[in-house]
Amino acid sequence: MAKPKRKVIITCAVTGAIHTPSMSPHLPVTPDEIAEAGIAAAEAGAAIIHLHARDPDTGRPTQDPKVFEKFLPRIKQSSKAVINITTGGSPHMTVEERMRPAAVFKPEVASMNMGSMNFGLYPMLDRFSDFTHDWERAHLENSRDLVFKNTFNDIETILRVGNDNGTRFEFECYDISHLYNLAHFVDRGLARTPLFIQSVFGLLGGIGAHPEDLMHMKRTADRLFGDSYRWSILGAGRNQIPLASMGAAQGANVRVGLEDSLWIAPGELAKSNADQVSKMRQVLEGLSLDIATPDEARAMLDLKGGDQVGF
């Protein structure tokens, strides 16, 4: 009997705090744009849609639930995708601000940064010179002296709120130490298995994007968590497709989207999140891997179901 093909979960990070609106005309900013981008990504094959929000007037990242409520119901009503709400928000926000939408809307999945880190975005100033909003240049320049604060107390606070709401987590691990932080919370019974570990590569301040870095992350996660985790790969910028492809060949799920990379090919901006999902899907199918549906992703990650959320 032929062995069934492995199912791969595609997560699409539609818009986020890493990139400023001026860097790409295709980055969704308004609630309408975010809703349309999320629905299109789901139609292209993304089982999970990871969402931040922007102030529609200034383009600044916001965690105001009133902005999220303008696009969350639309995406839910127009697709079967699992909706994943950020608790990262922006490094400039307090943890209380960052967790507001996940606390209010009780999603199936929320993101969780697993440690404090330097978060250097300023190299983007060498590649971009024209900005629409006054805050954008300062946002990048100030990252020379920016620590993204995620203390043990911060992590515990978000975990307890999510656990009380039945929300599972996408544990974003930017370095090896973040895996050990996660193991600490597993030992304390606050992080529940199966863990969904998003290994993040290529951001200045975290682990690099060399294939050996990917293997080091996998070896460490295998040793700490055995078969009690589901692995996923996030490569920032030009690393997005190459690292996701390497990871998928070794058993990982994948994450793409304009939050993580503005590009579809060297020197070519992606015109949409759906374009990146489609390109990743071609790679996966070329590896004879099946794309997980939203309901298959729910089963793989032991999620509570889309009918149990607060929107």
Give the position of tokens 């199912």. Answer: 7
What pLDDT, on the 0 to 100 scale, is given for residue 151? Answer: 98
- The pTM of the full predicted model, rounded to 2 decimals, is 0.96
> Domains of the chain: which residue ranges?
9-305
At 5 the pLDDT is: 76
The answer on pLDDT for 64 being more than 70 is yes
Query: Which pLDDT tens digit goes with each residue over 106-123?
Result: 999 999 999 999 999 999
At residue 181, φ and ψ (nearest 5 deg) are -60, -45
| % residues pLDDT > 90 (the chain) | 91
- What is the reported pLDDT for 2? 62
Confidence grade of residue 189 (pLDDT, cut at 50, 70, 90): very high
pLDDT by residue (tens digit) across 218-266? 999 999 999 999 999 999 999 999 999 999 999 999 999 999 999 999 9
Residues 6+ away with beta carbon under 8 Å from 302: 168, 194
Q: With 70 as the cut, is the pLDDT of residue 1 above it?
A: no
Helix (H) or strand (E) holding 62, with range, is: strand 61-62
- Quickly state the pLDDT bin for 130 (edges 50, 70, 90): confident
7: pLDDT strictly greater than 80? yes
Residue 17 binned pLDDT confidence (cut-offs 50, 70, 90): confident
pLDDT given for residue 49 in this prediction: 98
* Residue 43: predicted pLDDT: 98
pLDDT tier for residue 132 given thresholds of 50, 70 and 90: confident
> Residue 92: what pLDDT?
87
Alpha helices, DSSP H, located in the chain: 31-44, 65-68, 72-78, 95-98, 100-105, 134-141, 152-165, 176-187, 211-225, 240-249, 273-286, 294-301
Across 64-91, average pLDDT: 97
Q: What is the mean pLDDT of residues 267-280?
A: 97
Q: What is the pLDDT of residue 253?
A: 98
The Cα 244–Cα 252 span in angstroms is 8
Q: Which CATH architecture has domain 9-305?
A: Alpha-Beta Barrel (3.20)
- CB distance 167 to 160 below 8 Å: no
Is the predicted pLDDT of residue 300 greater than 80, yes or no? yes
Question: What is the overall mean pLDDT for the chain?
Answer: 95
Asked whether the beta carbons of 102 and 167 are under 8 A apart, the reply is yes
Q: What is the mean pLDDT of residues 122-139?
A: 89
